[in-house]
Amino acid sequence: MMKHAKKLPTQRRGLQNCPVAVMIISFVIILAVSGFILSSKREQVNSSFDLSKRKWNRFQSSVQFQPTVEFRNETEVIWQIPDSPKAVLFLAHGCNGRAINFWDRCVSCQNCIGLPEERLIVLHALARKFAVITISSAGKCWSLGRWQERVIVKEIIKLWVAKNKLEKLPLVALGASSGGYFVSLLATDMRFGGITIMIAQALFYRKGIPDDYPPTLFVHMPKDRARLRIINENLVALRKKSIDVAEIACMEFPLYPNFLADRIPGLDQTVSVKLFELFRKEGLIDQNGYMKKDGRATKWKEALRETGTLLPDKPVLGHHIQEELNLAYAYHEMTSLQSEQIFYWFESHMS
């Protein structure tokens, strides 16, 4: 009893100092955990999808490009309707784009060029039984300040839907960059079941937000901080109007040797590996494979010429590579990587 009693003061002193020790230990643990989270942030973000499984030809056995090319009101229109369609999707390209970017070159569209991200969005849509209509803008970019082009596009879609007896199906739209602005304005003039605004902010503020504005999904790249700020303002404004709204943030990801071959039709693995090694040797990517600059600012074409590296003789291949490098840097580029989430958004709002 006496020995036990003598230990009590020591135990009390230990208990009194315990909070300080716990605080110090907790602080160290928090720092360690925080460091781990920050250092692994890229891996956590990019582990949401496996790029190697998202190859350019993964729909080849289930969906084929068989588009119809027409000119309505001197406007290029390209479309395809799958068997038993359940919805209609209007796609709007960005600046310097055309409807031909969304479709592979085929018998029915000899001028189509099938840019990697655009074509995969269409294939996703067709595989999920969306009828797809793409329309070329009259100029380099979509006309945003004037209503004439919106009237023309609205009429084209309306007549096409009626001609193909698709009036009872939900109508949705997706636009990227200039096309995103255009879709956001078009949604104030015609009724959509849902819209996706990609790498763009909405421009509905010019007319105010209508009470019946459609559910809106923003697919954006947070690295573009100026646009991110405006998109956040859009999100707040839409929520104040009780309009269903959501966002998908698209982050940068690293290149790997077979990346370009996995994403681009007509580019084989040998060339893909050579390009990856060249990018690494020339310091265009870091040791982890991340782009150091946006693809547009990366002098990869100059590096090809200086080293004598040759690409297959295909005129549009450079555009395809450029798009994928832009996508990896994740500042401003159309993306198909989030297609599953995008089409789930559309489907969840279809009545």
CA dist 200 to 24, 151, 253, Å?
46, 21, 20
> Is residue 139 within 8 Å of 55, Cβ to Cβ?
no
229 and 277 both lie in a single domain: no
186 and 284 both lie in a single domain: no
Q: Rounded to an integer, what distance in angstroms lies between the CA atom of residue 88 and that of residue 106?
A: 22
pTM: 0.85
196 and 107 both lie in a single domain: yes
Q: Rounded to an integer, what distance in angstroms lies between the CA atom of residue 40 and that of residue 50?
A: 17
68 and 185 both lie in a single domain: yes
What CATH number should be reported for the domain holding residue 213? 3.40.50.1820
What are the structure tokens assigned to 319, written together? 């555009």
180 and 244 both lie in a single domain: yes
Output the average pLDDT for the chain.
86
Extract the runs of DSSP E, i.e. beta strands, from the chain.
68-72, 75-80, 87-92, 130-135, 171-176, 194-198, 216-220, 245-249
301 and 341 both lie in a single domain: no
Q: In which residue are the tokens 């690295």 written?
A: 223
Q: Does 3 fall in a domain?
A: no
Q: Does 237 fall in a domain?
A: yes
Q: In which residue are the tokens 């999707």 written?
A: 89
- Give the tens place of pLDDT for each residue, 16-73: 444 444 444 444 333 333 333 333 333 333 334 678 778 998 898 889 999 999 998 8
241 and 271 both lie in a single domain: no
61 and 169 both lie in a single domain: yes
87 and 112 both lie in a single domain: yes
Domain with 300 in it: 253-329
User: Mind listing the pLDDT tens digit of every residue in the chain (351 residues)?
Assistant: 333 333 333 333 343 444 444 444 444 333 333 333 333 333 333 334 678 778 998 898 889 999 999 998 889 999 999 999 999 999 999 999 999 999 999 999 999 999 999 999 999 999 999 999 999 999 999 998 778 999 999 999 999 999 999 999 999 999 999 999 999 999 999 999 999 999 999 997 666 899 999 999 999 999 999 999 999 999 999 999 999 999 999 999 999 999 999 999 989 999 999 999 999 999 999 999 999 999 999 999 898 888 887 787 777 899 999 999 999 999 999 999 999 999 999 999 987
In total, how many domains does the chain have?
2
Q: 127 in helix, strand or coil? A: helix
